Chain A
Amino acid sequence: MRFNKFLVLFSIISFMMFLGSSSSFAKKPLKIGSFLAVTGPASFLGDPELKTLQMYIEEINAKGGVDGHKIEFVHYDTKGKAKEAKNFVNRLIKKDRVDVIIGGTTSGNTLAVIDIVQRAKVPFISLAGSIKIVEPVKKWVFKTPHTDKMAAQKIFEDMKKRGITKIALITGNGGFDKSGRAQCLALAPKYGIKIVADEQYNNSDTDMTTQLTKIRATDAQAILNFGFGKAPAIVAKNAKQLGIKLPIYESHGVASKKFIELAGDAANGIRLPAAALIVADQLPDTDPQKSVLLSYKKKFEAKYGPVSTFGGHAYDALFIVVNAVKRAGVIDRAKIRDEIEKTKGFVGTGGVFNMSPTDHLGLGLDAFKMIEIQNGKWKLLY
């Protein structure tokens, strides 16, 4: 009998040891799923996003994970196609059983999967621009990038300050351009601004002098060009060629060094709203974003080369999730969602996020900086 007692005791002790050890080195992993347009036409967005996620997840795991939960990262490339996005999100939810989804590089890709994540009840942080993603609010959907609506508001505020009341709008035929144009047309009356010309071009066009000649014949006091890629650079060059002296505003779509490189000296004097990342070193030291931005920039550039604001959106999304998991203390979709919604005062690359049940973006207009290009360099105005 003694022997039996000893055996029971021994098995209890060993069982407890087993329990203890298993909980210390095999804590449940945090599964983050992602679907990004790494190749295809939106690759300039998706590529830095993926690199950012991979770089920081590696770093977090090297430090022992999120409160001991290692991050398991599952990623699919949508090539920018909405249909692929749907397939991959279904796979992330049903097969990979991820806890959180970060991704949806373009607005099209994001809007295509909203129904799926809502039904499956998986927290999803989108990296796309459109205001439609968070307006009206959807319970499980959040986003980190600034919206085109904010860009239009920031531009109109600046115009108002300069006493500009009549403007000419010139936009491309892409999704970003069209959505931006719609926001401009809708918001202009609220700022007492009249749009006297509404010209359009094809994003692959080689010359915009025709549209600009028409604008020259109006009484516009400024030109607003909502677009991205090479077209805005051609607009800037053509305006200079035609001798148009009106102030030109661009959207945040041109906030990359490439624009200055392409437009050359025609870029000087152009104003645009943009995330603080491109003028990080010009921010006052008191700005809470400065250290976050400089550290992100340094890390990214050391590994991959020139930084872009787009990768920054992925950084913001990842750390909003990481912080939410820390606060929740458990890996549970519903609890993580609740904590994401409670994000307050999170300093990211896009600005300071304060989310709420009615605001799933959480950025104010101050998250955009007004920037002017001077002598081929970004100059922070305010």
Chain B
Amino acid sequence: MDQLLQFFISGLTVGSIYALVALGFSIIYNASDVVNFAQGEFVMIGAMSAIFMLKAGIPYPLAIFLAILTSATVGLCLEKFAIEPAKRATVVTTIIITIGASIFLRGAALLIWGKDIYGLPPFTDNTPIHIGRATMLPQNLWVMLGTAFLVIVVKYFFDKTRVGKAILACSYNKKAAYLVGINVKTMLLIAYGLSAALGAVAGVLIAPITFMTYGAGVMLGLKGFCAAILGGMGNSMGAVLGGVILGIVETVGAGFISSGYKDAIAFFVILLVLFFKPSGILGKGEVERV
């Protein structure tokens, strides 16, 4: 029973990291139906720039703020110089562009920050919190809190704000959105900037737990992508649900079956879900437009 509780809590902490990354996918997806494979790199850039600004002597909160700004700028540049010039590109072509961008960003990070592994100090005290015989770190709470906060922000943004609604409109029908006076170009730019900023927040929150390298974005992006697919692409609640399920399946699978097959078990569950519900747990079914 003690073990099960710890597995559950470990799953929740890992899952909230996946959820946080998964959340970043939803904005660009909602704006253009594109899965941005450079999302993991946004996470990495956020964490790495915070780490190096902190090293340069900038106070922690300011360093975090500047890191988010840096990542957002990278997101804006990506849209302006890589996505926008390929105006007529199909969704698949654009996805391939983002893959290229992710390789480029990783290379740039390697040149700027080197190959070393870095960590961030935890936000607050590092004494483990005990729940029965199970434990978790205060930083895990920060991650969960951050995830919860961002879910609400993202949901509010798409449901209530004009810009959010305009972005959604672009994804439904670009031409119609343009005709009713929405500046499609600007909306896409905003989507990339926001999504990069969201990635950076994730990076800063998880860096104290997992450490960062120039290449850490790949695996984080992949796990986040799995979580997003599992929960339903573009749905912020789905991202969280997908992340938490993925995390718990991984830890319980590792705990009770075999830690060597941890990822295999998780991917098997994802395949199973997608087999029965291809649009993800909370995803809306594909609607064929006639």
Contacts and interface: CB of A to CB of B under 8 A. Distances in A.
Interface of A: 41, 43-44, 47, 173, 199-202, 204, 206-207, 209-211, 213-214, 217, 229-230, 233-234, 240-243, 258, 261-262
Contacts of A217: 2-3
A233 B10 contact: no
Given A200-B260, A204-B216, A213-B3, A262 B211 contact: yes
5 contacts: A200-B258, A210-B251, A213-B10, A241-B135, A242-B128
B211 A210 contact: no
A209 B10 contact: yes
Contacts of A173: 260
Contact of B211 (A200, A201, A214, A230): A230
Contacts of B206: 206
| A-B residue pairs, 4 tightest by C-beta | A204-B219, A206-B210, A200-B260, A209-B10
Given A44-B115, A207-B209, 6 more contacts: A47-B115, A199-B259, A207-B14, A210-B250, A258-B117, A261-B119
Given A202-B262, A242-B135, A262-B119, A234 B3 contact: no
B270 to A, nearest CB: 16
Interface of B: 2-3, 6-7, 9-11, 13-14, 17, 115-117, 119, 128, 135-137, 206, 209-211, 213, 215-216, 218-219, 250-251, 254-255, 258-260, 262-263
Contacts of A201: 259, 262
A176 B260 CA distance: 16
A206 B14 contact: yes
Contacts of A210: 6-7, 10-11, 250-251, 254-255, 259
Chain A CB within 10 A, most for which of B3, B11, B213, B259: B259
Contacts of B211: 230, 233-234, 262
A19 to B, nearest CB: 52
A211 B259 contact: yes
Given A201-B259, A202-B263, A229 B3 contact: no
B186 to A, nearest CB: 36
Contacts of B17: 206
Contacts of A202: 262-263
A81 to B, nearest CB: 16
A214 B115 contact: no
Contacts of A199: 259
Nearest to B210: A206
A214 B262 contact: no
